[in-house]
């Protein structure tokens, strides 16, 4: 898949929702396309996260505390908080089918932020928006 084709998928990642096409191109350039076999665990709840994924093809199941919570498909991201803090994964994600994913590592993302300082402000704005939404959902 061509790097420009990744832009549509990257634009769906909430963390990158306020990014320009130029910003998304830099993120795409820092990412790698990886083929995943069905049945492979991509992230495991409680383990340290160092990268995020965007599904290009295929599907994956998401479990939290051993309970299946959703299925992800093309365009869906997961693990994006790892780009910011490297904290523990909040769920386990397992490939249900053969998949192609776009992988963006923490170090590569930090390099993009260094190259495009304004991108950090856009990422922070996206996070602030998400916090406000969660606050509204929780407290009304």
Is pLDDT of 2 > 90?
no
The model's pTM:
0.82
Closest-CA residue to 44 (of 31, 62, 58, 22): 62
86-136 pLDDT, tens per residue?
A: 789 999 999 999 999 999 999 998 898 898 878 888 878 878 887 888 788
pLDDT at 12: 77
One CATH from 3.40.250.10, 3.30.530.20, 2.60.120.10, 3.40.50.10490 for 3-109: 2.60.120.10
Q: Distance between alpha carbon 25 and the CA centroid of its chain, in Å? A: 15
The C-alpha atoms of residue 108 and residue 52 are separated, in whole angstroms, by: 11
Pairing of strands 92-95, 77-78: unpaired
60-98 pLDDT, tens per residue?
A: 999 999 999 999 998 888 888 888 887 899 999 999 999
């Amino acid at each position: 898949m061509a790097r420009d084709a990744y832009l549509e998928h990257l634009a769906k990642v909430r963390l990158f929702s306020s990014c320009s096409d130029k910003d998304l191109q830099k993120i795409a350039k820092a990412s790698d396309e990886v083929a995943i076999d069905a049945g492979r665990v991509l992230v495991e709840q409680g383990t340290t996260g160092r990268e995020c994924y965007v599904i290009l093809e295929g599907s994956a199941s998401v479990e939290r505390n051993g309970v299946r919570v959703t299925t992800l498909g093309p365009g869906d991201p997961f693990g994006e908080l790892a780009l910011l803090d490297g904290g523990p994964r909040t769920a386990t994600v397992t490939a249900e089918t053969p998949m192609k994913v776009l992988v963006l590592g923490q170090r590569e993302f930090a390099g993009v932020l260094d190259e495009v300082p304004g991108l950090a402000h856009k990422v922070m704005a996206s996070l602030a928006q998400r916090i406000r939404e969660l606050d509204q959902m929780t407290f009304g």
